[in-house]
């Protein structure tokens, strides 16, 4: 009889062995990403990574900007309710960034996916006051410590057919809550660069176009929007040229652009994926290379920062929990800090001469 538990355990054991082997193999000498670019290179951070010497060393070599992955989000800050905000995690990250001489990018003040429970019991007047107070408290606390904020995160529907319906828009209007958030963020921190941030802008042309139309409306309405954040969670199967087109269209608005959350999974939503690993890596490096080259083609004043959403594959949100089979390579480095093909594609793009 086949031992089903042994069959299920085998892939996990193999993945664990691969991660152990990666950690034992020395990384080849490579240039620090931050040393080869005229703009900041960033990564996301969780406060517990500060206790990981290998992560600290890797980040110290390659990045000059940090984005809190979770601990500046409303879900974390308001975990104990509106009246008891917690700042232990983001405070620790802010202190670490300052100690290391790294820029800090705030992420994020208002997001459709969070805050509904904390605000649900409030009438319209109290809702509006609490909305204003939250932004004033959080953005004000980190005034002078962050250089920028994702003020509103992911306002466009997945299909790109309009703005999301959410608790913020129902109370304050679809454009209204966004404009109000930017105005309150500007009042709380007059010097921070204020970004609108979203995903799939390169992957889904309709969504990218709707996002840019929203940016134009905000600018015409006088909202103090200071930059465009493109998360760049790349679908490696999109046609060549699609990324370049979006970046060029975004650049036409004249605002700084932040590649804010780059990763590029090798996985596919297809039920049956017949691509070899080599084919998937070629697609990945092709799309990442296109993104880097499109960013490098921007005027210097529009290249705000280039951020990867994690450094090592095992740090990635794509490699957490039951979905992790130990095989995906969505980030520049493997579990042992050795450069992946994605790293080489980034270096090639950053150092390519016109």
Predicted local distance difference test score (pLDDT) of residue 326: 87
Mean per-residue pLDDT for 297-317?
98
Q: What DSSP string runs through 160-212?
A: SSSBPP-HHHHHH-TTHHHHHHHHHHHHH-TTSEEEEEESSTTT-HHHHHHHH
Which position among 71, 154, 202, 293 bears the catalytic label?
Answer: 154
Number of domains in the chain: 1
Predicted local distance difference test score (pLDDT) of residue 7: 36
Predicted local distance difference test score (pLDDT) of residue 15: 45
Does some domain include residue 281? yes
- Alpha carbons 30 and 303: distance in angstroms, whole number: 23
* % the chain with pLDDT above 90: 86
Does some domain include residue 126? yes
Q: Tell me the pLDDT of the chain averaged across its residues.
A: 93
Does some domain include residue 191? yes
Does some domain include residue 183? yes
pLDDT at 249 > cutoff 60: yes
Does some domain include residue 187? yes
Which position among 69, 71, 261, 290 bears the catalytic label?
Answer: 261
* Whether 99 is catalytic: no
Does some domain include residue 16? no
* % the chain with pLDDT above 70: 92
Predicted local distance difference test score (pLDDT) of residue 199: 98
Using 50, 70 and 90 to split pLDDT, how confident is the model at 24?
A: low
Query: CATH code at 298?
Result: 3.20.20.80
Does some domain include residue 343? yes
Which residue range forms the structural domain that includes residue 334?
40-351
DSSP H helices in the chain: 4-24, 53-62, 74-77, 88-100, 116-119, 124-141, 167-172, 176-188, 205-220, 242-251, 277-296, 341-351
Does some domain include residue 4? no
- pTM for the full model? 0.91
* Whether 154 is catalytic: yes
Using 50, 70 and 90 to split pLDDT, how confident is the model at 139?
A: very high
* Of the listed ranges 69-78, 181-190, 267-276, the one predicted with least confidence: 267-276
* Of the listed ranges 194-203, 307-316, 324-333, the one predicted with least confidence: 324-333
């Amino acid at each position: 009889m086949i031992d089903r538990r042994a069959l299920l355990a085998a892939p996990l054991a193999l993945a664990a062995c691969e991660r152990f082997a990666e950690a034992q193999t020395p990384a080849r000498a490579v240039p620090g990403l931050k040393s080869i670019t005229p703009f900041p290179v960033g990564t996301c951070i969780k406060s517990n990574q500060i206790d990981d010497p290998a992560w600290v060393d890797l980040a110290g070599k390659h990045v000059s900007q940090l984005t809190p992955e979770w601990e500046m989000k409303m879900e974390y800050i308001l975990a104990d309710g509106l009246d008891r905000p917690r700042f232990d995690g983001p405070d620790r990250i802010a202190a670490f960034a300052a100690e290391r001489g790294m820029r800090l990018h705030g992420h994020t003040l208002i997001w459709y996916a969070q805050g509904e429970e904390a605000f649900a019991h409030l009438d319209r007047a109290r809702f509006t006051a609490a909305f204003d107070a939250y932004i004033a408290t959080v953005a004000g606390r980190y005034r002078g410590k962050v250089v920028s904020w994702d003020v509103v995160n992911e306002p466009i529907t997945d299909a790109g057919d309009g703005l999301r319906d959410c608790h913020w828009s129902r109370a304050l209007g679809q454009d209204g809550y966004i404009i109000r958030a930017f105005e309150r963020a500007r009042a709380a921190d007059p010097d921070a660069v204020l970004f609108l941030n979203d995903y799939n802008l390169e992957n889904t042309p309709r969504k990218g176009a709707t996002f840019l139309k929203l940016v134009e409306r905000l600018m015409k309405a006088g909202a103090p929007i200071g930059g465009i954040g493109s998360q760049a969670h790349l679908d490696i199967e999109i046609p060549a040229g699609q990324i370049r087109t979006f970046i060029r269209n975004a650049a036409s608005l004249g605002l700084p652009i932040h590649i804010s959350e780059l990763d590029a999974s090798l996985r596919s939503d297809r039920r049956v994926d017949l691509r070899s690993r080599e084919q998937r890596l070629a697609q990945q490096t092709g799309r990442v290379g296109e993104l880097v080259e499109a960013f490098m083609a921007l005027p210097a004043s529009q290249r705000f920062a280039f951020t990867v959403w994690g450094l090592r594959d095992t740090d990635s949100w794509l490699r957490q929990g039951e979905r992790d089979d130990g095989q995906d390579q969505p980030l520049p480095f493997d579990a042992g800090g050795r450069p992946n093909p994605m790293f080489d594609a980034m270096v090639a793009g950053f150092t390519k001469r016109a």
